[in-house]
Amino acid sequence: MDGILNINKPKGITSHDVVLMVRRTIGEKRIGHTGTLDPIATGILLICIGRATKLSRSLTNYKKTYIAEMRLGIKTDTQDATGIVIASCSNYSIDEERILKTFSNFTGDIEQIPPMFSAVKYRGERLYKLARRGIMVERMARKVHIYSLKLMSVSHEFIRFEAEVSTGTYIRTLCEQIGDELGCSGHLSELQRIKIGDFEIDDAVPLDGLKMLYRSGRLKEVMHSPYVISVTKV
């Protein structure tokens, strides 16, 4: 079985958990994902199966679109809602005009320092493993590209926005950067990936429906051919 599955990852599990579930369901060892989603995040996770695993690197390089919600006034050690609060601010006043101006400052090429709680490797070890042991190491800033930031809503301390970004962009780091620019701290509270290249969330297969599709012999109906992808999408 060769192809690419557009899976709608639920909240609370890792991208690797999804790979294991798909592997157990269809009995294929050659399976990998492209573009890690943290457990807090939901949405598109592309799963490459069989010979399609050769396209993993190309698929990872597609630009991605997210709907993010950030909470102002609180900074955490993980830059998202799962972390420990390390700073807070309650005396601030933010309006839509100021938010839009700040968004414009973060559009285009920007630099980000990979968070300690990430899968980036340092001397052969994942940063998040070091962070869990309380070890902090210096990380080099990386250049990423923000194609667009669109404000969706502002409600009390929450800002909801759509972000179209290049590969390698950390949305939780972006939330912290925006919060710092606004002068009130901030962290990622919710995240959904809605697009990777031409793959869209409306066409994604719910993870809990995968077994039924496989047992009924209909899995190939939702699987994208690696040959078509290599010609039209890479």
Strand pairing report for 108-112 and 121-122: unpaired
Do 216 and 188 belong to one domain? no
Q: Are residues 152 and 48 in the same domain?
A: no
Structure tokens at 64: 């991605």
Examine the domain organization and report whether 136 and 162 are in the same domain. Answer: yes
- If asked whether residues 137 and 21 sit together in one domain, one would say no
Give the C-alpha distances (Å, rounded to integers) separating 87 from 30, 66, 76, 172, 185.
Answer: 44, 26, 7, 16, 7
Are 10 and 58 within one domain? yes
* Predicted pLDDT at 190: 98
pLDDT in tens, the chain (234 residues): 789 999 999 999 999 999 999 999 988 889 988 888 999 999 999 999 998 888 877 888 899 999 999 999 999 999 999 999 999 998 888 899 999 999 999 999 999 988 877 777 777 788 778 878 888 788 889 999 999 999 999 998 999 999 999 999 999 999 999 999 999 999 999 999 999 999 999 999 999 899 899 889 888 889 888 766 654 443
Residue 139 and residue 226 in one domain:
no
188, 80 contact by CB (below 8 A): yes
Domain count, the chain: 2
Q: Are residues 181 and 205 in the same domain?
A: no
In this structure, the answer to whether residues 89 and 186 fall within a common structural domain is yes
Q: What is the pTM of this model?
A: 0.90
| Spatial CA neighbour of 70 closest among 58, 79, 60, 59 | 79
Assess whether 38 carries a catalytic annotation. Answer: yes
142 plus 102 within the same structural domain:
yes
Among 38, 80, 109, 203, the one annotated catalytic = 38
Domain holding 56: CATH number? 3.30.2350.10
Same domain, 211 and 142: no
The boundaries of the domain holding residue 142 are: 64-195
C-alpha Rg value of the chain to the nearest Å: 19
What CA–CA distance (Å, rounded) separates 45 from 34?
A: 7
Instruction: Mark whether 202 and 172 lie in a shared domain.
Output: no
Q: Are residues 47 and 137 in the same domain?
A: no
The pLDDT value recorded for residue 234 is 39
